[in-house]
Amino acid sequence: MAKQKRKVPEATDKKNKKLKKASAEEILPAPEAKPEKEEGHPEGGAACRVLQDTDPELSPEEKRVLERKLKKERKKEEKKRLQEVGVAETRSPPARRSGAELALDYLCGWAQKHKNWRFQKTRQTWLLLHMYDSDKVPNEYFSTLLAYLEGLKGRARELTVQKAEALMQELDETGAGDPDPFLLGKTQRIRQVLQLLS
């Protein structure tokens, strides 16, 4: 069977032609929006009239498509205008919280038995990696961390004990003669973890 071409109604052809003509003329603001008259765009009012002239003949979908195109064009023109003036467009990214803050909040949520607390592997991993560093996990959080470590099970518990034993041996070998306050604090934390988990 031969496929027949579908005849396009004349009304659709007219709409398409008007849509192309309107988008080619100039930037058109949304029909709901008040026309903005900028100093750099004196023909802003004429563009608004073109959209109003085509309103009854365009379907709502066609109007939305046209409005999106025009919005993009307005943004491009605004960006060019700002570049000409010499104003650099600076967008500050939203402030992100550090891994330390997130992990310590996770630990506090666990300690307070919040309803919305849930296990997060990345937070636990961060805590296990940095638990001996008093700068990253302050002393006020360490007792809570020890209580959290009591609940460790399986491979995480085994690895934590192995790492603590390896660190203890390393510190015993290197720090035999010179009592460094940082190493003393670290050694004390390692001992507490070993006593708890062994």
Backbone angles phi, psi at 94, to 5 degrees: -60, 140
Q: What's the confidence (pLDDT) of residue 86? A: 76
pLDDT 10s digits, 129-150: 999 999 999 999 999 999 999 9
Split at pLDDT 50, 70, 90, the class of 15 is low
Residue 4 has pLDDT above 90, yes or no: no
What long-range pairs does 76-85 form, CB within 8 A, spacing at least 24? 77/27, 77/40, 77/41, 81/40
Please report, as a single letter, which amino acid is at residue 15. Answer: K
Q: 152, 160 in Cβ contact below 8 A?
A: yes
Mean pLDDT, rounded, for 164-188:
80
Residues 93-111: what's their mean pLDDT? 89
Give the residue with greater pLDDT, 28 vs 129. Answer: 129
| Spatial contact of 107 and 144, defined as CB atoms under 8 Å apart | yes
104: pLDDT strictly greater than 70:
yes
**Model pLDDT, residue 1:** 54
How far apart CA 184 and CA 192 sit, in angstroms, is 12
**39-58 residue pLDDT tens:** 444 444 444 444 555 556 78
Lowest mean pLDDT among 91-95, 147-151, 171-175: 91-95
Structure confidence at residue 84 as a pLDDT band (50, 70, 90): confident
Domain spans in the chain, listed from the N-terminal domain onward: 11-85, 99-197
